Copies of this chain bind each other. A is one copy, B any other.
């Protein structure tokens, strides 16, 4: 009689243990991953921070291009990604395009993260 025969229960549960709750669905994981992907870039995090730090919580592309140290098309590209992900709004006034944080957007991602 081997040790395995003596301890069948513990051996069975040594791998493939049951769940204590439901884990995140594949669809929700995909959606959250897309949202996080928009944030997972140093330039985009800086852009978000710079927009938030501006007076009136608003900034145009010309405010951001120089401090971020990248070309204007690249900055516009990143801003577009942030708008599409729901973190920024864009409103054009005259020649300028003003970007503004979407209130609560970062908070809701933040809250989602801890429920994983």
Contacts and interface: CB of A to CB of B under 8 A. Distances in A.
A59 B19 CA distance: 10
Interface in A7-28: 14-24, 26
A55 B14 CA distance: 11
Contacts of A42: 26, 29-30, 32-33
Interface residues of A, number: 49
Nearest to A13: B55
Can you tell how many copies of this chain the complex includes? Answer: 2
A14 B63 contact: no
Contacts of A111: 110
Interface of A: 14-24, 26, 29-30, 32-33, 36-37, 39-46, 48-50, 52-56, 58-60, 62-63, 94, 96, 106-107, 109-111, 113-114, 116
22 contacts: A15-B60, A15-B62, A15-B63, A15-B96, A16-B62, A17-B55, A17-B63, A18-B54, A18-B55, A19-B54, A20-B55, A22-B53, A23-B49, A24-B45, A29-B46, A32-B42, A36-B36, A39-B113, A40-B40, A48-B116, A106-B116, A107-B114
